Amino acid sequence: MATQLEQAPNIKTELRNQISIMIGGQGGDGTLTVVNLLGRIFRDYGLNVYDARNVLSRIRGGHADGVIRASCDEIYSTGDEIDTLVAFDEEAVTLVLNDLAPDATIIFDSSKGPLAQGLHRAFTVYEAPLGNMAASALRRNIFKNTIAFAILGRILGFEDEVLVQVLKARYARRGQEALESNLKALNIGLDYATKSIHSSPYKLKRGTNSGKILSTGNEATAFGFLVGGGRFFVGYPITPATDIMEWLAPRLPKFGGVVKQAEDELAVINMGIGAAYAGARVMVATSGPGQSLMTEGVGHAGESEVPIVVVECQRVGPSTGEPTRNEQSDINHIVYGSHGEFPRLVVAPGTASECFKMSADALNLAEKYQLPVFILLDQALCQNSESVQPFDIKAVTIDRGKLLSEESISKIPLYKRYQYSEDGISPRSIPSLEGGQSQVTGNEHNEFGLVSVDKSNRLRMMSKRMKKVELAKSDLPRGNNFGPRDAKIGVIGIGSTYGPIIESMAQLQERGTKVRFHQLRTVFPLLEDDLKEFMQGLEGIFVVENNYQGQLARMIKSVTADNERIVNITKFDGTSFKPIEITNAISSVLSKSSDAASFKLGV
Amino acid sequence: MQSVQQAPARRIYTPSAPIWCPGCGDFGVLASLKKSLSDLGIASKDTVIVGGIGCSGSIHNNLECYGIHSLHGRLLPTAVGVKLANPKLTVIAAGGDGDGYAIGVGHFIHTLKRNPSIVYIVMQNGTYGLTKGQPSPTAALGYEGNKDIPFDAVQTALSIFSTTFIARGFSGNQTQLTELLKGALNHANSNKGLGFLEVLSPCVTYNDTYKQWREQVYNLDAEKGYDRTSRPAALTRTMQLLDEGKIPTGLIYEGTTPSLEANTLTQTEPIALQDITSPSNIPRYEELLKDFR
Ligand SMILES: Cc1ncc(C[n+]2csc(CCOP(=O)(O)OP(=O)(O)O)c2C)c(N)n1
Ligand code: SF4
Ligand SMILES: [Mg+2]
């Protein structure tokens, strides 16, 4: 077998501050496993980590890749360039050719032949028939990912023992056989590396972090729900929301809770409403298609004043769209969707840490204001993982609002579920409490919850419900502001654009442009004061979002009446912004001092 | 001025009077429901009626207990949510045939499959009463131009292997109806699973089937030798009766399958009443931080 890894001519040996690695191939090639293994090692090396996956919505076949970036410094995205690529086929190279650093290193699986000459450019290319090596030694091609992991380990300068330990940790629970085969594959990779790679060109400095954990937004949201006293989760599988259900399924029952997979999203939202009405803290989670089915139910919760938290994990839409790709195009749907008018709150975290806290807080908001609360996420935030400080469990508080006990009901002369009140919030009884018997309904109703079409009742009930939105404003998360106060250029974004915007700020600063960033965290109702305060004194404001129409920008304009200063930067090709894309878009608008109101990336 | 006799002040709502047309079959269901709850001594504070949308789906307003009015077709998931959150409650879902067998039929099948310990009453009138008489899934051939073969929910329920209580009553036979309803309530309240009761409940305004149904009903409870604990026997006998143009009524099938709560819940204390603020949870939450690789 001609399996000699080619020796690269000029190997760099200096210690690096950061690195970005991509593993690409076909679905089923085990690319994400390598990303996970690397993540643990980087984390244990005290480095900051951020990873992202790009898979098709099928289990086998079709291009799939994972990117992982590690750095001594704080990082918030996968960055602009890939330094090292493991490619299990040629497509994995061609697809990212323009994203590779000019001096990138490629480990190429040459089982089906060498990498086309034209793709070599100035890269350092190690070619080895990884798939064949795995097949001949272990009878299964799939172990090529572990072989690649071993070679990567040497390139990155990890000690062999570290590689062994992390494999053991991963495969310990999957049986002795799986572990042994993987350890064999590891040794095959190490042997080849010994023969062919004589230095560690990408050896990283050790980081100074200790105790950081790796989390995706979905995992953090699920955990926040549990810690916030959430005890009833109902869902129906859908990418990219399913991870929330899957994280909770083995854990919530240990706290007495329920994770139920229903027959469809119509059942999901209504089962959630039933459990919430009965007194449980409830979360449902879905993505666009499921949200469309839930829309009637969310309005029902609003009208009948049942507290419920709805997580919407946006993906490319409409219809089936691109299930595994990133977009922020359900903003309008979440803020405006439904027939009729009802109170709702929409919050949007930007990091895993915020997902944790805002998930727990959303339960408080829902119960305090007795309405549906949306947590708006997007695929990148849902599924990318980052290294974060361990979640602050003790910072979570539980506020059940005007939930009554039997004792407090006994003091009420005549209980009315929808009693008119100054603040619009009525004392809430739940079944089993004597004296709190009442009717809860999505029909317009009187104070007792009995059907009413009386005009003056309608006016009072509508006002009572709708004014809760105004009242909630003081409790809603204000935007996070970053960057120098004297900057004249502002950027606004939500969700996963947080990372690329933060990194773009540094790039713009290098180009001499000072930028301030307002990470919006309440999408509905927009906190006008907060926005206006941020916008004060700015000469140009860029609203950055992943959709075609500029949904967020339109909403902001509708409350700030600011049409002149706002330029909309949108991207809707299914991928997240790279920092450099934002930087270039802003630079080009500023340099041309163009008065274009929108800048559509790639169009 | 002295008042003659002061009634004690009410502490909760006064149920509204039914909205139904005089003679509507649903009056019979309401009467049976009131009697069953009172005869069985089920506390009003522990009773939740989940209404569907339709003429039938207003029945919750006419009783004095907890009530939640769901969306059209969504009463079963709502009721299941209530039950899982607090299994100590008596949960009764009550709605129409359009609600349960048309727009909500997916939930119907899955609820039969899951066997939650609730009661489900379907007021079957072969029409959409509230929207003024269009054919429902159970409508007879030819009714308002209906060309679709009528759906038989009892046969469907019999063909799902996890059902545990299948009954059919008739508003025109109060004694039998009340017995069936009590049976369904006892079944659910002893955590055996779903008490499914279809009630032939004529819509006198758009589809007055009283006379016809009175002639067609066949009381299986009165049939000697009928084995309601055998699914094949029940299926065979009911099919025969249907072929003869009869409608089988009575407790048609009774079986045993673990209930949804038995399969799902990990503690006896209702989730809905759990003290979620307990500080004893904190170390357990901290333990979970280890799961973040
Ligand atoms: C989603 C939705 N579609 C349609 C309706 C209109 N609608 C109200 S009641 C009803 C049918 C009721 O029929 P059934 O469930 O048999 O009840 P009945 O009035 O006969 O008791 C319909 C179609 C609705 N409320 N919601
Ligand atoms: S329309 Fe029919 S179902 Fe509705 S109340 Fe009148 S009789 Fe009953
Ligand atoms: Mg009907």
**Nearest alpha-carbon partner for A34 in A155, A122, A195, A204:** A155
Residue A12 has pLDDT above 50, yes or no: no
Distance of CA A181 to the CA centre of its chain: 34
How close A363 comes to chain B (CA, Å)? 12
Task: Tell me the C-alpha to C-alpha distance, in Å, between residue A189 and each of A87, A128, A163, B86.
Answer: 15, 10, 11, 56
B60–A393 C-beta distance less than 8 A: no
Residue B54 has pLDDT above 60, yes or no: yes
Three-class SS of residue B220?
helix
Residue B3 has pLDDT above 60, yes or no: no
Sole residue written with tokens 């499959």: B113
Cβ neighbours for A159, distance < 8 A, ≥ 6 positions apart: none
Residue A8 has pLDDT above 60, yes or no: no
How close A10 comes to chain B (CA, Å)? 36
Q: Does A257 touch chain B if contact means CB atoms closer than 8 Å?
A: yes
How close B146 comes to chain A (CA, Å)? 28
Residue A516: predicted pLDDT: 97
Q: Whole-angstrom Cα distance, residue B167 to residue B160?
A: 14
A19-64 pLDDT per residue, tens: 999 999 998 888 999 999 999 999 999 999 999 988 766 666 788 9
Alpha helices, DSSP H only, in A82-129?
91-94
- Closest C-alpha residue for ligand 1 atom 16: B98
A437–B77 C-beta distance less than 8 A: no
Residue B125 CB–ligand 1 contact under 6 Å: yes
**Nearest alpha-carbon partner for A257 in A231, A229, A290:** A231
Give the residue-averaged pLDDT of A317-339: 97
Q: Does B106 touch chain A if contact means CB atoms closer than 8 Å?
A: yes
- Closest C-alpha residue for ligand 2 atom 1: B129
Give the residue-averaged pLDDT of A4-29: 71
Residue B244: predicted pLDDT: 98
Residue A59: predicted pLDDT: 65
**Which class would CATH give B26-292?**
alpha beta
Q: How many CB atoms lie within 10 A of CB B151?
A: 18
Closest ligand to the CA of A297:
1
Residue B204 CB–ligand 2 contact under 6 Å: yes
- The A residues from 423 to 482 touching B (CB cutoff 8 Å) are 430-443, 448-451
In chain B, which ranges are E strands? 47-51, 66-69, 90-96, 119-124, 127-128, 134-135, 165-170, 195-200, 217-219, 247-254
- Please state the φ and ψ torsions of residue A563, each to the nearest 5 degrees: -95, -20
What is the ipTM metric for this complex? 0.97
b/e string for B118-127 if b means 16 or more Cβ within 10 A?
bbbbbbbbbb
Taking the whole predicted model, whether its pTM rises above 0.90 is answered as: yes
The closest-lying atom of ligand 2 relative to the alpha carbon of residue B130 is 4
Give the residue-averaged pLDDT of B1-9: 67
Chain B's closest residue to A278, CA to CA, is B82
Residue A56: predicted pLDDT: 67
Of B45, B106, B286, the CB nearest to A432: B45
Residue A595: predicted pLDDT: 59
Which of A81-90, A416-425, A431-440, A558-567 has the weakest average pLDDT?
Answer: A558-567
Q: Does B275 touch chain A if contact means CB atoms closer than 8 Å?
A: no
How close B240 comes to chain A (CA, Å)? 33
Residue B71: predicted pLDDT: 98
Which of A6-10, A188-192, B75-79, B250-254 has the weakest average pLDDT?
Answer: A6-10
Residue B213 corresponds to which tokens in the numbers above? Answer: 């149904």
Residue A562: predicted pLDDT: 84
Q: How far is the CA of B98 from the centre of ligand 2 (A)?
A: 13
Q: Does B262 touch chain A if contact means CB atoms closer than 8 Å?
A: no
Domain ranges of chain B: 26-292
Q: Does A499 touch chain B if contact means CB atoms closer than 8 Å?
A: no
Pairing of strands B66-69, B90-96: unpaired
Closest ligand to the CA of B208:
2
Q: How far is the CA of B125 from the centre of ligand 1 (A)?
A: 12
Q: Whole-angstrom Cα distance, residue A463 to residue A457?
A: 10
Secondary structure (DSSP) of A494-538? -GGGHHHHHHHHHHHHHTT--EEEEE--EEES--HHHHHHHHTT-
- The B residues from 136 to 195 touching A (CB cutoff 8 Å) are none
Chain B's closest residue to A218, CA to CA, is B292
Chain A neighbors of B44, CB-CB under 8 A? 437
Q: Whole-angstrom Cα distance, residue A146 to residue A137?
A: 13
Exposure on the CB side of residue A509, measured as CA atoms within 13 A: 14
Q: How high does pLDDT run on average in chain B? A: 96
Residue A564: predicted pLDDT: 87
Residue A602: predicted pLDDT: 75
Residue A4 has pLDDT above 50, yes or no: no
B168-207 pLDDT per residue, tens: 999 999 999 999 999 999 999 999 999 999 999 999 999 9
Residue A19 corresponds to which tokens in the numbers above? Answer: 């690195």
Among B99, B125, B201, name the best residue to mutate to test ligand 2's pocket (greatest count of ligand atoms within 8 A of Cβ).
Answer: B125
Residue B263 CB–ligand 1 contact under 6 Å: no
Give the residue-averaged pLDDT of A540-568: 94
Residue B179 CB–ligand 1 contact under 6 Å: no
Strand order from edge to edge, sheet including B66-69: A439-440, B66-69, B47-51, B90-96, B119-124, B195-200, B165-170, B247-254, B217-219
Which of A97-101, A307-311, B5-9, B178-182 has the weakest average pLDDT?
Answer: B5-9
Residue A505: predicted pLDDT: 97
Three-class SS of residue A574?
coil
Give yes or no for a cis peptide into A253 (omega within 30° of 0): no
Three-class SS of residue A188?
helix
b/e string for A561-577 if b means 16 or more Cβ within 10 A?
eeeeebbbbbbbebbbb
Task: Tell me the C-alpha to C-alpha distance, in Å, between residue A250 and each of A229, A259, A497.
Answer: 16, 9, 31
User: Best mutation site among B110, B112, B276 for testing chain A: the one with the most A CBs within 10 Å?
Assistant: B276
A350-395 pLDDT per residue, tens: 999 999 999 999 999 999 999 999 999 999 999 999 999 999 999 9
Residue B254 CB–ligand 2 contact under 6 Å: no
Q: How far is the CA of B153 from the centre of ligand 1 (A)?
A: 18
Alpha helices, DSSP H only, in A139-258?
144-155, 160-171, 176-196, 217-227, 242-248
Q: How high does pLDDT run on average in chain A? A: 94
Residue A7 has pLDDT above 80, yes or no: no
- Domains in chain A, please, with CATH? 14-204 (3.40.920.10), 214-394 (3.40.50.970), 480-600 (3.40.50.920)
Give the residue-averaged pLDDT of A194-223: 91
Residue B293 has pLDDT above 70, yes or no: no
Three-class SS of residue A283?
strand
